[in-house]
Amino acid sequence: MKNFLEELEWRGMLHSKIDGIEEKLNTGKVAGYIGFDPTAPSITIGNYVQIMLLKLFQLSGHQPIVLMGGATGRIGDPSGKDKERELKTTDELDENLAHQTTQFKHLLNFDEGENAAIMVNNLDFYQDMNVLEFLRVVGKTLTVNYMLQKDSVQNRLEAGISFTEFSYQLLQGYDYQCLFNKYACILQMGGSDQWGNILSGTEFIRRNLGEKAYAITTPLLTKADGTKFGKSTAGNIWLDAKMTSPYKFYQFWINADDADIPKFTRYFTLHSKEEIEARELEFASDPRELKRLLAEELTKRIHGEEAYQSVLKVSELLFGRNADREMLLSLSAGELETVANEIPTFQVKKDLFEEGINIADLLAQHTQILASKSEVRKAIQNNAITVNKEKITTHEAMVSVGDLLHGRYVMVENGKKNKCVLIAE
């Protein structure tokens, strides 16, 4: 069994902790939790830092609790925000929560062993509580002076903070108390921006139960250029294949800054310290291989072996020197759609293919691949044009419905670097 705190230390994932947690963790299995508000339709790679914390906690023999914020998601956490959040509808939050619950069950072990993970919805703590009971039971615990000292509040005083968001720390504090009572949960974890909210929870347990509770936070993960981790130039990296394809997910890691890879590897790999250090020594002069190994591990873990193999096929078709017609024909419709999302595409009416269309007309009149028929003829003479990886040798060649891959796609190349996909609609 791994030592959880030592594991966090070598990975650079320990920011703050309450003294005494070491002894508690060494006495045997401990229950600890992290809260996740379902304000987005899917978990993101940014959330995955905290999921890794729970994963490592479970692999160390302890019991992780995922607290879904069915209630807190309706309020909005002011932490890290310089203005009031726009509240989501209850239907939207419920849909998000249901989807994220399914995702979590893929990422942690909820089924086997004495330390199987537990899923809790904090809406259960509040849905039968009226406002007067909330004010007496929850609101009485912390003073306004105590709440005003929190950074998440201080940073918003000048711009303004609603009572709704001001009260967020009360809910998070009471959540901890409820989990302490029901599951003997003595540890709350989170990012360093959650330290104030987490301490509110330990204060709830101290004041209302006369017990000691603990906290651990991770540093906020940033890229080498100082920007927030978890986003690409195209936006969020989602852990949902429909929102971020496995190929784009893989490319996020492949395209990471070389300087970020040691940190990313420590945060996200499940390999041991010795394995990682040996790998970094072996590939000290080859950061591309270090990125590839991390991208492979994470793509398989998040999306599965089959999706990873699809990623390799798409990558080979787009960038490999040996991609041939046989490889292209082996691609599924979904893989071709991924290809189409990565290179220029042109919409072409399907009835043109059904009638059969001359290659010069197709490339010069119905797409913008080449500017004129004369340019098409010249490119064909120079052996530059291929359709579905077959060389076009005459300007009289016809492209027909039989050339549509999966009844929809045609891949056209003009030279080695200029690839595009025609989509028959």
pLDDT digits (tens, 9 = 90+) for 349-400: 999 999 899 999 999 989 888 889 999 999 999 999 999 999 999 989 999 9
Q: What is the pLDDT of residues 220-232, one digit of tens each?
A: 888 888 887 876 6
Has residue 284 got a pLDDT over 80? yes
- Determine the Cα–Cα distance for residues 174 and 22; give it in Å rounded to an integer: 24
Torsion of Cα atoms, 168 then 174 then 176 then 177, to 10°: 170
Strands 235-236 and 231-232: antiparallel
* DSSP character string of 319-346: H-TT--HHHHHH--HHHHHHHHHHS-EE
Neighbours of 74 (CB within 10 A): 19
Lowest mean pLDDT among 54-58, 84-88, 125-129, 202-206: 84-88
Whole-angstrom Cα distance, residue 353 to residue 403? Answer: 8
**From residue 11, how far is each of 18, 273, 275 by CA, in Å?**
19, 8, 13
Place of tokens 């670097």: 417
| Per-residue b or e along 127-147, where b marks 16 or more CB atoms closer than 10 Å to that residue's CB | eeeeeeebeeebeebbeeeeb
Strand partners for 390: 387
Nearest to 36 by CA among 73, 64, 76: 73
Distance CA 21, CA 23 (A): 5
CB 125 within 8 A of CB 178: yes
Average pLDDT over residues 192-221: 94
How far is the C-alpha of 332 from the C-alpha of 253, rounded, in Å?
24
Residues contacting 339, CB < 8 A, separation 6+? 314, 317, 318, 331, 411, 421
Tokens encoding 357: 């269309």
How confident is the model over 307-314, as a mean pLDDT? 94
Name residues whose C-beta falls within 8 Å of residue 406's C-beta, 6 or more positions apart in sequence.
332, 333, 336
How would residue 153 be classed by pLDDT, with cut points 50, 70 and 90? confident
Nearest by Cα to 311 from 325, 324, 321, 297: 297
What average pLDDT does the segment 47-63 reach?
Answer: 96
What average pLDDT is seen over the chain? 92
Please indicate whether residue 179 or residue 142 has the higher confidence score (pLDDT). 179
Tell me the pLDDT tens digit for each residue of 60-74: 999 999 999 999 998
Q: Which residues contact 59 (CB under 8 A, 6 or more apart)?
A: 2, 270
pLDDT, mean of residues 331-343: 92
User: Quick check: 4 and 189 in contact, CB under 8 A?
Assistant: no
Higher pLDDT, 226 or 3: 3
Does this model's pTM top 0.85? My answer is yes
